[in-house]
């Protein structure tokens, strides 16, 4: 397990995870503490040689610590299939713990 992320109220928290939407799966935030707000989600494509497809990139999640709290920041790879989505178990990088201090 990775060490907890420790921040103070008002500070940003940035989590970058490998993501490859060409597989049909997307990294999704599935749990976070109440004292944290999700401010932005962006996708940075990976470097690919001409003609290459399916190259993984990086999904970047930016949070702002609003109040003292602690708890998990949990992400899952989810494929939105019918009738039920396919949800993969989180990797250690996708299962983080955050502590926000005043």
Give CA–CA dist 34/80, Å, rounded: 26
Looking at residue 8, its pLDDT comes to 98
pLDDT at residue 11 greater than cutoff 90: yes
Helix (H, G, I), strand (E, B) or coil at 13: strand
Of the CATH numbers 2.60.40.10, 1.10.10.10, 2.60.40.2020, 3.40.50.1370, which one belongs to the domain with range 5-101?
Answer: 2.60.40.2020
For the chain, the distance separating the N- and C-terminal CA atoms, rounded to the nearest angstrom, is 25
How is residue 75 written in tokens? Answer: 């992400």
Looking at residue 40, its pLDDT comes to 98
pLDDT digits (tens, 9 = 90+) for 35-53: 999 999 999 988 888 888 8
Where residue 34 falls among pLDDT bands split at 50, 70, 90?
very high
- Asked whether 64 and 36 are in contact (CB, 8 A), the reply is yes
The structure tokens 């707000």 sit at 37
pLDDT digits (tens, 9 = 90+) for 88-98: 998 888 999 99
The secondary structure of 30-86 as a DSSP string is EE--TTEEEEEEEEEPPP--TT-----EEEEEEEEE-SSEEEEEEEEEEE--SSS-E
Mean of per-residue pLDDT scores for the chain: 93
């Amino acid at each position: 397990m990775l060490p907890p992320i420790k921040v103070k109220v008002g500070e940003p928290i940035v989590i970058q995870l490998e993501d490859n939407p060409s597989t049909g799966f997307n990294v999704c935030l599935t749990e976070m503490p109440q004292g944290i707000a999700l401010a932005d989600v962006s996708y940075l494509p990976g470097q690919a040689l001409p003609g290459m497809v399916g190259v993984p990139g990086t999904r970047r999640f930016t949070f702002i610590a609003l109040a003292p709290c602690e708890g998990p920041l949990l992400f899952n790879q989810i494929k939105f299939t019918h009738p039920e989505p396919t949800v993969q178990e989180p990797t250690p990088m996708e299962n983080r713990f955050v502590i926000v201090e005043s």
